[in-house]
Structure formats: structure tokens, C-alpha cells
Amino acid sequence: MFSNLSRGSTLHGVDRDGDMRWFSGTIERITPALDGQFPAYPALNLDIVATIDGKQREFKGIHGNEAIADFGENSIILADNKDSLFNYVKSLLKVSEDAVDKDNIRKHEEKIPKYRNVLAEMMPGSTNASEVKELKAQVGNLQEQLAEALALLKGETKTK
């Protein structure tokens, strides 16, 4: 938990901006965050100043009762220890691998028409617009292929 860290503790992180890289730094200052709100059950939020690669960086509003702070997809992930960060990044890798897994794609390709059928049964006409759009695209592709075939046939008859 970040609330267990103090001055001199090691802060671990991954910078996902540009080339993804792992880093660690030393905490210089850790203070309770003051946000001006007084909820019924206040959470301990912290502002942390750490030296990373020789530069001081400030991280605001970190939940003190958590071990990971994820600031968004193209930003920074912080952790109170290296093992927690490793496991978190490993879980992110698994999510990405699952998203591009070919078997997973096939599974979803099989589900899409089934979902559309269910939607059509539930509310007739709800999927017609997307089906018409798909059919138009298919017809367009067939027209292109037919035009190419005709051009090839015309080219063969001229050469004979």
C-alpha cells in the first residue's frame, strides 16, 4: 500500500508514453492530498514526489490503500513494490494477448451473427441498417471483381 511508503522508499513504475519502459525512483516527499472535499468516509489520498532518472516527478491523488496507481493507457503506472507492478503488467499483457488471439477473434466472429439474430428477434428492424450496409459493401466488392474479370477477358480476346 502506498500509505506504507515513506521518504527514501523505492517507487516502481512503468512509463507507457512512447516506448514503454520500467523505472524505479526514490521517494523524496509523501503528503496527504487535500482536495477540499469532506466525504462521510474519507479515503487517504497521497501526493508523492520522487526522484526518477535524476529528475523530481510529482504524482497527485494516489489512493493510499492501494498498491497500484494506473494513470491511464498512455501514461504511468506506479506501484509500491516491484512484485505488484510485475503482476499488474503481466495482467495487462494477458488482456492484450487475449484481444488479438486468433481463436478469440473467431469465437467473436461466430457470436456476432448470433447476437444480431437475437437483437432482430427482440426488436425487429433493429439490425436491418447494419445488414443493409454489409450487403452494399459485399455488392460493391462483387462489382469490382466482375469489372476486373471483364477487363481481363477483354484483354485476352484482343491478344488472340
Which of 19, 20, 2 has the alpha carbon at shortest distance from 11? 2
Segments making up each domain of the chain, as ranges: 2-98, 101-159
Q: Tell me what the mean pLDDT of segment 28-46 comes to.
A: 72
Residue 85: closest CA among 102, 66, 100: 66
pTM of the model: 0.59
Q: What pLDDT band is residue 42 in, cutting at 50, 70 and 90?
A: low
CA distance 97 to 115: 24
What percent of the chain has pLDDT above 70?
Answer: 83
What are the residue ranges of helices labelled H in the chain? 82-100, 102-122, 128-159
> Would you place residue 38 in the very low, low, confident or very high pLDDT band (cuts 50, 70, 90)?
low
Lowest mean pLDDT among 51-60, 62-71, 94-103, 134-143: 94-103
